[in-house]
Structure formats: structure tokens, C-alpha cells
Structure 1
Amino acid sequence: MSTAAATTTERLRRLAGTARDADVDVVLVAPGPDLAYLVGRSVASHERLTLLAVPSDAPDDAVMILPALERGGWDGSPAEAAGIRFVTWLDGEDPYAALLGELGDDLGAAAVDDHLPFLHAFRLQSARPELRLRPAGELIGELRMRKEPHEIEELASVGAAIDRVHRRIGEWLRAGRTENEVAADIAAALVEEGHRTADFVIVASGPNGASPHHEASDRVIEAGDPVVVDIGGPNPAGYNSDSTRTYLVAGGVPDPEFALVHELVRTAQRAAVAAVRPGATAESIDRAAREVIEQAGYGEFFITRTGHGIGLEVHEHPYIVAGNTRPLEPGMAFSIEPGVYLPGRFGVRIEDIVVVGDEGAVLMNTSAVDLITVQPSVE
């Protein structure tokens, strides 16, 4: 059995174990990052049903139902090599009844992953009204949030790629250009530096920086503007980067509070990184950053959580937020991104990805977090 097939088999067995502990009879996984994690690939089938069914008492009997027209795309896949049984259906046939027939009449509770469209969940429920559907996100998240060594290598690689883009920011960011123009150049650079695609490019200048998820606009960047640049995307293996720096455009008259706030956010971010260690709770990392900002009198302007898990998705478990008492474990990967957002004036966010190591945080990003003033380019 190939390494990829062995990984698929091992992950399916681990998933079955968590399902048994949760009194779930079968886990149903739709195309998306959960399927990619479990079987090494994911092929969308649009409105047609594709679904992996993993029985909790017999993971080696996992079955995937999919349209006949999609079957060829799985030839030679880890799923096929691991012995997953493929059941195909033709347009005009009822795939829901076919799947339920494969799973038997004694099916009680089924956990469905977060990416299964309501259309499919509804039709499964209609085909067997007594079937109890439950969310599977937490079950699969239990597996995905602890990154294996090869996954950490992928996060380090894509982290280095995003660092290279940030170090080139002076090529594009300058007064007189629009946010959209700068964002387009950054998106191209993300691909040049090793990303499969640019998943998101936030360029938020001046007062736009006070909106954490501002979309790039036609606003012309001015001298003296703070500019939040939050960028990321997947590498060829599907693992994501996510890194934010806040720059100052040279010239003009900067907001007199900007340098102070930038240093405050930098201090809060470093405090949260320093708090990372096995056994610390997720919420304690949020608290470490938040206390720095609150003590300086800016607590009401820190309007986001401190971080989110990352891997095959940009946002996944664990979430670094108040109320999450989960203890951190080696291999967990997440962002640390405190920010201060002053409406109508500017925002500051600094974000790195960290992995929990045996002794503390292992940074996946190494580009400078100090305040960088972007000088005009020489034509």
C-alpha cells in the first residue's frame, strides 16, 4: 500500500473512532477540504451528489457514491488504493436512496460535514425521515487541528512564500495608486512566489483600515496613509498562508496616534505569541493580546478574535477566542492577529501563523513586524 493510501486508511479509522465515541453510526463527507484531508483529493460534482460514507464500526468498508461521469477522476487515487468502494449513479437515478441502501436499515445517527449543501442533507432526510442528522465539523476538526509533520512543512513553505511577498511590498505600494491597483499586483506576486492562487488580498488604506475585512477599492492611496495589507492563499498542496502587516506610506502628515497604536499592536501580538505553549488554553492566548490593548485604553477598538486555525482552510479549528477553553497541543496551527480599528481614521493589524511546539510557539512567518515606512519608488 502506498504512503498516501496508508494515510487515508489511518485517517478514516481515526475518524471512525471519534464517531463511535460520539454515538454516531456513520460520517458523511462532501467534496471540500474535509474530503481532501481524509482521502487525498476532492472533486466537486456541482448539484450532483458525491458523498463519502464512513461507518463508525467498519471504516474499512467506507463507500463513496458519486456520478458515473466523475468516476474516472478517481482512478489511481489514494481513495481507490485504500480500498474505498465506489458506487456510481446515472442522471435520472436516485442517489440518496442508493446511498441509504448501501448503509443498511439500522442506520440511526449520521454526522454530516460542514460542507454538505442543505439540498443534499434535506433529500437524505426526506428519503429516510427517521435518520438523525448531526454536524460532523467537530469530529473531523478533532483530526485536522493537530497537524502532522508533513503538514507543518507545508505551512512553513507557504509561510515563507507569503513573507517574500510582504518583503516586496515597496514595489507596488505608493501614493497615487488605487487600492485595486496595488491589490492586483500583490495577487500576481502571490502566484509568482509559490501560491496556487491568491485567495484574498486586503489593501485597506487610511480610514478603510478601520474595517477589518475591507475589500480593495478605487480609493487613491495618499502620502502619510497607514495601509493594512492582509494576504494569503493556498500552495499547490492546498495548505494556506495568511499574513498581515500594516505599512505607512512615506510623505504627508501621518495621524499622530498611528505610530503609538502600531507599537501597541506589535507588543500585543508578541505577548500572545509568547503565551503559546502546550496546555495553555486557546482563550488564554486571546487574553494575552487583549490585556495589552485594554490596559492602553484601546480595548473597545479590538473588535475581532485574536486568531483562527489554519491548514487546508484559511479558517478552521482551533479558534483563538474568549470562551474557547480547549488546551493547546503540539501540532496545532493558528493565526495570532490582534488589531486596533479606529473608525474614520485608520486600523492596525499584525498577523503571523504559529504552530504549537513542545516548548512554545514556532513561527511560520519571519517578515518584519516593526513599522515599515514605504518610500516612493525611483522611476
Structure 2
Amino acid sequence: MDYQERLQKLRRESTGIDCLFFVPGVNLYYLTGLKVSGSERLFLFGVLPSARTFMIAPSFEIGRFRSTIELDTVFSYRDDQGPLSAIKQALKRYSIKKIGVEFKYMKLWELEWLKQAVPKLQIIDLSDTIKKLRIRKCPEEIRQLRKSAYIADRAMAQARNEIRPGVTESRIEGVISEVVKSRRADGFAAVASGPRTALPHARTTDRIIREGDLVWIDLVVYYNSYVADITRTFFVGRPDPQLLEVYKTVMIAQRRARTKTVPGMTAGEVDTLARSYIDQQGYRDYFIHRTGHGIGLEVHEEPYIVENNLVKLEQGMAFTIEPGIYLPDRGGVRIEDSVVVTEEGVESLTKFSRGINII
């Protein structure tokens, strides 16, 4: 990844601001490659309009940061001192009176330290600027997304082989975890069965799978920090006729959105591709969430595939397509893929079979 180029783009999009401050998290990683765990100790990474950066951090952490990134200055503090003096030194040295911060990620207590150092500090939200930088993935990011998707497909295939009457949801989740870890990746999964599949965000329990159940698996994989997200639904034994009809409806709605999405459409129009078909089949009231969400360094990020979202899709944007229908106390079906926008349409990064899966 070309982190210097990312920092330069950030500067070009943030003129008129004395300093841009970042806290531990995905945006700091995106801009610098630094992985810093947030804690009760203040850590701030400062980006100046010139080609300079600095850091405010606990003194015992400085050694590892200096070895991984070039910094103009480090303003350190000991635990018994607290960070206020270090913040004041930094703001005074660079004549900082107007700052940009990440409203979505900076905690109130972190912001309060800055305001305490300079009570009349002007504060600007960087959310739109960061969104603009991260929303389109570069070729290297797309390669990482593909690797995550490949692992997700392998884990889903192994999980499918474990589904049978008498097995618990937690057992299947455990198999997924083993596969993901064996690929040197991280991740998590939710496994729901029977009537619990009608809950879109059900979490795994020790429920025993029975003959006639629906089972869905929602699986997230992080590889080199990039995310793939996939959901598949399975029938255990002879399908219930209405739930089979629901499955076919969701399958066609998802296919419509995957195959008809092209650059230049809005995110809202992608939602409509799936939702309109489900509406036509009489299940309008049972599709109770958006059609998808962006993926990248976070499992939920821009662009959100939701009705009336006017963000226009461009090559390199990555997101999920995941329509679902949920019948209370009966069961629910969701089919989800991670996709990336290409020159002519979208490429599905996850490829596990979307056909009717009867076990």
C-alpha cells in the first residue's frame, strides 16, 4: 500500500486546516499501516499541511512507533504526567488553532483533552473526507478482499458438511473458526436454525439442529485486515413448501441485484433491484433490512446499499448484496455475497453455491 500517497490525498482534500488528528483504529491503519490498540492512554497521530507528521503518545510506546513510521516529532508523556503538557507543546510548536478529527471514531474524552489544551480550538469533522478516500478500493485492497473471500468460501463449504440433525449450532460455528484460523485469518460467524432463522441478527446458541430445519450461516473473515462477508441458507431434510418458495424468491432477487448492477447506478437503485422483486412476490413486509453495506477494513462501511442512497457506484467500490425474507416464528432466508464494482458490472468475490442447498 502506498501510505504516503494516501496522506497526500488527505492533505489535498483538507486545505485550510492546521492539523488532522487520528486516533487508534481503521483510519489510522488505512493512512499509515500502523496498528495501534486503543486504551485509556491518549494516542494522537497528527498530519500537517506540509509533508510532516507527528505523534502524541505514552513514552513507553515510542520505540516501536519510531521503527515503523517516519515522524517529524514525537511528543511523549509519562503515566504520572498525563498528556496535557504534550498536547500543548504540539499545538504551540505548529501554531495549531483549527483541527480536523474523526467524529465517528474519536471518543469524547479524547476530544476533551484537545479542548482543554486550547479552549477556543476550531474543530472540523473529517468524516466525509475519509469516506471519499476509503470508498474506492485500490487494486491491492481488492486482492486482499479476494483472499478473504476465498477463505470465507472454504469455511462455508466445511460448515455445510457439518450440518445434520443432532449437531448444535455452536459445533458448526466451532468448525468455521478452525478453518479460518488454519488459514491464518480472523473472523466470526453466526449460525441460526429452525424458527431462529427469522431473526436477521440471531447469534449462535447450543440449539440442536432438527430434521426439517432451515439453517443459515453468516460468516465474516478478516485477512490482512480486509473483510469478506457471506451468508448462505440450507434446508435440513425435506423443505417446507412455503420456505422453499421464500428461498427461490430471495435467490432471484439477489441474482437480479448482482447481475444488473453497473457503474453509475446509485446505491439506492441496487436496493430497488432486489426489493422490487420481493415486493412483487408479496413479501414486502418481510424484507426488513437494507440490501447491503460496504466492506473493506470494516465489515460495515460506505457505501450502504439502502433505499434513497444517492451515492453513485464507481469502479473499485466493494459491498455486500444480501436480501432476505423473514417469516416470524417460521424461518428466514438470506443469501449474501461480497462484490466489487468493475468497469461493466460487479464481480462476486464470494462464490459458494447460491442454489437450493438440501442436506
**Aligned mates of 2:265, 2:76 — CA distance in 1:** 47
1:195–1:332 Cα change, 3 Å: farther
1:322 partner letter: E
Q: Deviations over 1:41-93 (max 9, x none)?
A: 212251111111123x32x122121111112222432x22xx45333221122
2:343 partner letter: D
Of 122-131 and 304-313, the range deviating more from structure 2: 122-131
Instruction: Decide which of 218, 230, 238 is 1:243's aligned counterpart.
Output: 230
Please state if 1:13 is matched with 2:8: yes
1:294–1:13 Cα change, 3 Å: same
Identity within the alignment, %: 37
Instruction: Decide which of 31, 40, 50 is 1:38's aligned counterpart.
Output: 31
**Aligned mates of 2:85, 2:288 — CA distance in 1:** 47
Superposed displacement of residue 144, structure 1: 1.1
- SS of residue in 1 equivalent to 2:211: coil
- SS of residue in 2 equivalent to 1:344: coil
- SS of residue in 2 equivalent to 1:240: strand
Instruction: Decide which of 174, 181, 186 is 1:197's aligned counterpart.
Output: 186
> Normalised by the size of structure 1, how large is the TM-score?
0.89
Superposed displacement of residue 275, structure 1: 2.9
2:215 partner letter: V
**Aligned mates of 1:103, 1:17 — CA distance in 2:** 21
**Aligned mates of 2:148, 2:30 — CA distance in 1:** 18
Give the 5 Å matches for 1:56-71: 57-58=49-50, 60-71=51-62
- SS of residue in 2 equivalent to 1:222: coil
1:195–1:255 Cα change, 3 Å: farther
Q: What corresponds to 2:91 in structure 1?
A: 103
How many pairs does the alignment contain? 357
2:298 partner letter: E
Give the 5 Å matches for 1:344-355: 344-355=329-340
2:73 partner letter: R
1:166–1:313 Cα change, 3 Å: same
Of 45-54 and 237-246, the range deviating more from structure 2: 45-54
Please state if 1:276 is matched with 2:261: yes
Q: What corresponds to 1:293 in structure 2?
A: 278
Superposed displacement of residue 100, structure 1: 4.3
Superposed displacement of residue 159, structure 1: 0.6
Can you give the 5+ residue segments of structure 1 that lack an aligned partner in the other structure? 375-379
Q: What corresponds to 1:142 in structure 2?
A: 132
Q: What corresponds to 1:234 in structure 2?
A: 222
1:228–1:176 Cα change, 3 Å: same
1:124 partner letter: L
Q: What corresponds to 1:89 in structure 2?
A: 77
1:11–1:293 Cα change, 3 Å: same
Superposed displacement of residue 103, structure 1: 3.0
1:28 partner letter: F
Where does structure 1 differ by over 4 angstroms across 4 or more consecutive aligned residues? none
